[in-house]
């Protein structure tokens, strides 16, 4: 009889293709055997009875800002990775900015890698930055393992991470295309946003509604159209991050139909929060692009259901409470970024599966399988199959809970989701075959062999 490190028994195993009841056997961090509809005749050092629960591939969050090194007072790898584990996330991609120095050359990449190797409880990869001063560093960053490159078409808000002008981005895209990598883009028009913001502020119009109106959907559309034209000219593979509207997604899908190699991400906050939340929650709900109205939320869900969206990622972008305050009603001055990495699966289950009948298989596709395929990690990541990495989230769909501040594992226990009732609770998270989160607590009794996925 075979002997394994861990067997998960009686769970409902979810992949993009099916939901089947069965057992999963794990050894040396890999799934070694599965059985469907019958008991796996084997023994293990540890067993988990997942009867009545669902086993999902661990989520891959392709968009987080953990701010380390240099800004750990905002968030850090230790707190950030633990919050992901609590939300069923087993792999994350850390963005090149808000850490300082930013990840724009090999030396800075190694600083981030060293910190992650020491502190992360889940798997990780890193984005490299594309800024005006580092086109000459792109090939070396790629050689040293960055998952792709990130650029801002409008000011990032971070002094040491400059946004790209049109010449820089064109040259950068040509270089990225030459090495077969991809460019992720924050697509908002500097001209439109800056001019509208200046007009609003000059008239002392600084409310939540004024802020949202200063960054309209057409600003995203203009930037997306422009970057798509550069992709067509250079052959660079594109990934548009945090689309806030289906109108933006429609532009991307038109390009896909023309043969442009382009994908699009949206975020849980654009699928669950609105301008009303921004007014009520203040700076906790401020982000860029901003939250939209209720109809835009529903339209985005339609895009999710019809396969127009490729990836769901958190865009976790935390900051200290003092930076999130809206002083004298001025929404322009508060830091723009939402803390939400721990709640991605909760939002997708509650708002998607339960409220809008989105199949669990589709949630797996958007949060695990598609990210793994898009970034070259499949089938080691993003699925439940023999020889895949044992990265798993066990979820009890029958449990509901109200998210309280004390539930959050972020450095700063703040989020616009606090106070919300979620249905579907992550009970256990397994990374490389080791339980790292169980019944509300991080478990570090065993040393996890974390993969930087070089």
| pLDDT of res. 391 | 98
Gap between the Cα atoms of 394 and 10, Å rounded: 12
Residue 364: inside a domain, yes or no? Answer: yes
Neighbouring C-beta atoms of residue 261, cutoff 10 Å: 15
CB 290 within 8 A of CB 277: no
428's tokens: 């256990």
Gap between the Cα atoms of 374 and 353, Å rounded: 24
Residue 310: inside a domain, yes or no? Answer: yes
| pLDDT of res. 205 | 98
Query: ∠357-243-307 over CA atoms, to 5°?
Result: 40
What is the sign of the dihedral through the CA atoms of 352, 354, 358 and 360?
positive
Q: Looking at 263-413, list the stretches that DSSP marks H as alpha helix, in order from N- to C-terminal side.
A: 275-281, 294-305, 344-347, 355-356, 360-364, 370-374
When pLDDT is averaged across residues 186-215 and rounded to a whole number, the result is 98
CB 353 within 8 A of CB 359: yes
| pLDDT of res. 353 | 98
What CATH number should be reported for the domain holding residue 343?
3.20.20.140
| pLDDT of res. 37 | 86
- Strands 30-36, 392-402: pairing kind: unpaired
Phi, psi of 37 (to 5 degrees): 75, 5
What confidence tens digit (pLDDT) does each residue in 216-269 have?
999 999 999 999 999 999 999 999 999 999 999 999 999 999 999 999 999 999
Q: Residue 92's domain spans which residues?
A: 58-374
pLDDT higher than 50, residue 445: no
Angle, to 10 degrees, between the axis of helix 166-178 and the axis of helix 217-234?
50
Is residue 255 within a helix (H) or strand (E), and if so which, with residue range?
helix 246-257
202's tokens: 């000059």
120: three-class secondary structure by DSSP? coil
Residues in the chain: 454
Residue 49: inside a domain, yes or no? Answer: no
Is residue 26 within a helix (H) or strand (E), and if so which, with residue range?
strand 19-27
8: three-class secondary structure by DSSP? strand
Residue 269: inside a domain, yes or no? Answer: yes
**pLDDT tier for residue 1 given thresholds of 50, 70 and 90:** confident
268: three-class secondary structure by DSSP? helix
418-440 CB burial, b ≥16 within 10 A, e <16: bebebbbbbbbbbbbbbbbbbee
What confidence tens digit (pLDDT) does each residue in 321-380 have?
999 999 999 999 999 999 999 999 999 999 999 999 999 999 999 999 999 999 999 999
User: Please, is 144 exposed, middle or buried when counting C-beta atoms within 10 Å of its C-beta (0-12, 13-18, 19+)?
Assistant: middle
Residue 399: inside a domain, yes or no? Answer: no
When pLDDT is averaged across residues 424-447 and rounded to a whole number, the result is 89
Gap between the Cα atoms of 240 and 401, Å rounded: 33
pLDDT higher than 50, residue 453: no
Gap between the Cα atoms of 257 and 432, Å rounded: 38
Among residues 234, 226, 229, the alpha carbon closest in space to that of 138 is found at: 234
Is residue 54 within a helix (H) or strand (E), and if so which, with residue range?
strand 54-57
**Could you tell me which residues are beta bridge partners of residue 42?**
2
| pLDDT of res. 452 | 46
Q: Residues with Cβ < 8 Å from 101, sequence gap 6 or more?
A: 69, 70, 108, 111, 160
Among residues 234, 108, 215, the alpha carbon closest in space to that of 169 is found at: 234
Gap between the Cα atoms of 240 and 42, Å rounded: 46
Mapping DSSP onto H, E and C, the string for 199-238 reads HHHHCCCCCHHHHHHCCCHHHHHHHHHHHHHHHHHHCCEE
When pLDDT is averaged across residues 171-187 and rounded to a whole number, the result is 98
Residue 181: inside a domain, yes or no? Answer: yes
Neighbouring C-beta atoms of residue 59, cutoff 10 Å: 32
Count, in order, helices (H) and strands (E) of the chain.
14, 17
- Per the structure, how many domains does the chain have? 1
Q: Residues with Cβ < 8 Å from 401, sequence gap 6 or more?
A: 407, 421, 422, 425
Residue 420: inside a domain, yes or no? Answer: no
Indicate the average pLDDT of the chain: 96
What confidence tens digit (pLDDT) does each residue in 91-118 have?
999 999 999 999 999 999 999 999 999 9
| pLDDT of res. 450 | 56
């Amino acid at each position: 009889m075979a002997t394994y490190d861990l067997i998960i028994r009686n769970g409902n195993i979810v992949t993009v293709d099916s939901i089947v009841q069965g057992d999963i056997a794990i050894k040396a961090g890999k799934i070694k055997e599965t059985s469907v509809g019958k008991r796996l005749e084997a023994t293990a050092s540890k067993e988990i009875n997942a009867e009545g629960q669902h086993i999902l591939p661990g989520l891959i969050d392709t968009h987080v800002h953990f701010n380390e090194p240099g800004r750990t007072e905002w968030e850090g790898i230790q707190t950030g990775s633990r919050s992901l584990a609590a939300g069923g996330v087993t792999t994350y991609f850390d963005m090149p900015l808000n850490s300082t120095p930013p990840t724009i050359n090999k030396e800075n990449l190694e600083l981030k890698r060293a910190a992650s190797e020491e502190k992360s409880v889940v798997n990780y990869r890193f984005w490299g930055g594309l800024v005006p001063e580092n086109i000459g560093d792109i090939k070396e960053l790629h050689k040293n393992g960055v998952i792709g490159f990130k650029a801002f078409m409008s000011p990032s808000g971070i002094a040491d991470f400059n946004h790209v002008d049109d010449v820089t981005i064109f040259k950068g895209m040509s270089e990225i295309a030459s090495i077969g990598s991809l460019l992720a883009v924050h697509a908002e028009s500097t001209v439109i946003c800056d001019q509208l913001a200046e007009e609003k502020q000059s008239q002392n119009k600084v409310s939540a509604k004024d802020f949202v109106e200063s960054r309209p959907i057409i600003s995203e559309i203009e930037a997306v159209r422009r970057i798509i034209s550069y992709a067509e000219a250079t052959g660079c593979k594109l990934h548009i991050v945090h689309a806030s509207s289906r109108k933006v997604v429609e532009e991307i899908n038109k390009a896909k139909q023309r043969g442009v190699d382009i994908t699009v991400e949206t975020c849980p906050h654009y699928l669950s929060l609105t301008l009303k939340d921004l007014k009520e929650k203040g700076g906790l709900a401020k982000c860029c692009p901003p939250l939209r109205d209720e109809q835009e939320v529903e339209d985005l869900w339609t895009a999710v259901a019809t396969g127009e969206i490729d990836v769901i990622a958190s865009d976790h972008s935390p900051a200290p409470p003092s930076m999130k305050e809206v002083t004298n009603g001025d929404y322009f001055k508060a830091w723009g970024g939402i803390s939400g990495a721990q709640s991605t699966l909760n939002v997708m289950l509650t708002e998607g599966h339960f409220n809008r009948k989105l199949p669990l298989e589709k949630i797996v596709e958007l949060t695990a399988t598609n990210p793994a395929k898009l970034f070259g990690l499949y089938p080691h990541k993003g699925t439940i199959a023999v020889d895949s990495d044992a990265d798993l989230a066990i979820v009890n769909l029958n449990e509901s809970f109200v998210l309280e501040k004390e539930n959050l594992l972020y450095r700063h226990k703040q989020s616009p989701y606090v106070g919300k009732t979620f249905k579907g609770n992550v009970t256990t998270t397994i990374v490389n075959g080791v339980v790292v989160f169980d019944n509300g607590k991080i478990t570090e009794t065993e040393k996890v062999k974390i993969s930087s996925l070089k």
